[in-house]
Amino acid sequence: MYAFLDKFFFVFHSTLIIFILFGWIWRKTRLANLVVILLTAFSWFFLGIWYGFGFCPCTDWHWQVRMKLEHHDMPHSYTKFLVDTLTGLDVSPKLVDSFAVLFLMLALFVSILTNVRDWTEKRRA
């Protein structure tokens, strides 16, 4: 069961990251994208006050599963785990975190712009 959950979290969390970065592209997913980005930022920055900057419940659950599978040397960040896993490198955690915050803020900015534009166009019609 834990092996299945490990694979599930890898696919789910990676897909969630892709949705956060690119969900604003399609009109039908823009509002959901904005909500997911805001929830992610809330988790990282507000829940992060108590659990550590960048806290993500998905990462926490995934790491619990991986601990059951005897993977005890996990990085703090899922993004670092993903980058290292996909590239085979050991990328600096500060570099990965910096780019993660940058890309989250860019996605938030574009998502807000596209949602406001959609709302304005809908209001005019």
Domain map (residue ranges) of the chain: 2-119
Residue 125 has pLDDT above 90, yes or no: no
Q: Taking residues 3-18, what's their average pLDDT?
A: 97
Angle at 31 between CA 43 and CA 120, to 5 degrees: 130
Euclidean distance between CA atoms 67 and 70, whole angstroms:
5
| pLDDT at position 55 | 95
Contacts of residues 61-67 at CB distance under 8 Å and 24 or more positions apart, as own/partner, are 61/9, 62/6, 62/9, 62/10, 62/13, 65/2, 65/5, 65/6, 65/9, 66/6
Residue 113 has pLDDT above 90, yes or no: yes
pLDDT tens-digit profile of 78-99? Answer: 999 999 999 999 999 999 999 9
| Average pLDDT of every residue of the chain | 96
Euclidean distance between CA atoms 98 and 104, whole angstroms:
10
Euclidean distance between CA atoms 34 and 115, whole angstroms:
8
Confidence at 18, pLDDT banded by 50, 70, 90: very high
Euclidean distance between CA atoms 80 and 66, whole angstroms:
15
Give the dihedral sign, CA 9/41/75/92.
positive
pLDDT tens-digit profile of 19-37? Answer: 999 999 999 999 999 999 9
